[in-house]
Amino acid sequence: MNYYKAIIQYDGTERMGFQYQDDMLTIQGELNLSLQNILEGKVTTRAASRTDKGVHAIAQVVKISAEDPSILDANRLNSSLPSHMRCLNLSPCAGDFIPSVDQLSKEYRYLFTNTPGVSGQNQRYIAQTPYELNFEKIQTCVAILKGRNNFQNFWSIGGIANTTLRDILECDLTLINPQELFRGTLFTAGGVSICWQFRIVGKGFLKHMVRHLVGALWMVGNGRLSVEDFRELLHGEQKEQRPWKKADPRGLYLLKVNYEPEDL
């Protein structure tokens, strides 16, 4: 077998997530088909993150295992990929490299706006919340997230996890110009020149965890949850019900996956 490490960018809109599913449009399914169109023999792929339905990736890491001994490079793969996917880099890797296991951390970004007159409602790539938000209270909760916490109240039951404890290395909420973030990518910001960015870096994430966090932070911002409520959800017992909805997947991006230098 021949092994490659590929950096893949994709628009997850109208796709059922990364992971292959029978009779459904998925990123992995389309990637596998593209590889089968240009390579002979068996081809398999394995990603660093199983991004969910509608979620995008600026730099997903995928290991490609191929029987075909012919040289595979980014240009050759891009010639076969659909327009909503792009290979940014492709290089040989070790056969025992496992993208989801060998990673040190992953970084996600969630983009949203709530500014009247600067609606992201018709945007494919920026979420919109209709609430007026108290960002001072939201910032207080964002600061609480850093470190090791129990996210048992911030994930979708049904996901696979041995523990709901997760280590958050970095976390912040800032105003950015999405035009700058999207420059040179598949994504566009339209007329939106300023939006909020929730950035979170961790060693691992639970199913829908970032979207649950954003939904809860919005509720803190609109006064339906207090900072103390949020702290209790993070440090207290598991609740049977959660008063928020998961945030819209259109605003969520897997920005990058970090490895030891020798794994690059």
Dist CA 103 CA 258 (whole Å): 6
- Relative to beta strand 2-10, strand 85-92 is antiparallel
Dist CA 169 CA 3 (whole Å): 31
- Tell whether the torsion through CA atoms of 230, 53, 135 and 143 is positive or negative: positive
Total H helices, total E strands in the chain: 7, 10
Dist CA 193 CA 167 (whole Å): 32
What confidence tens digit (pLDDT) does each residue in 158-167 have? 767 789 999 9
Residue 118: the pLDDT is 56
What confidence tens digit (pLDDT) does each residue in 64-83 have? 999 999 999 999 999 999 99
Q: Are 37 and 89 within 8 A, CB to CB? A: no
- CA nearest 75: which of 62, 65, 90, 63? 90
Answer whether 2-102 and 105-258 agree in fold: yes
Dist CA 171 CA 141 (whole Å): 10
Q: Are 166 and 149 within 8 A, CB to CB? A: yes
Q: 57's torsion region: left (phi>0), alpha (psi -120 to 50) or beta?
A: beta
Residue 106: the pLDDT is 98
Residue 104: the pLDDT is 96
Tracing tokens 């793969």 back to the chain, one arrives at: 77
Domain ranges of the chain: 2-102, 105-258
CATH number of the domain located at residue range(s) 2-102 in this protein: 3.30.70.580
Residue 264: the pLDDT is 47
What confidence tens digit (pLDDT) does each residue in 135-157 have? 999 999 999 999 999 999 999 97
CATH architecture designation of domain 105-258: 2-Layer Sandwich (3.30)
Spell out the residues 6+ positions from residue 240 whose beta carbon is closer than 8 angstroms to its own: none
Residue 21: the pLDDT is 92
Low-confidence ranges of the chain (pLDDT < 50): 264
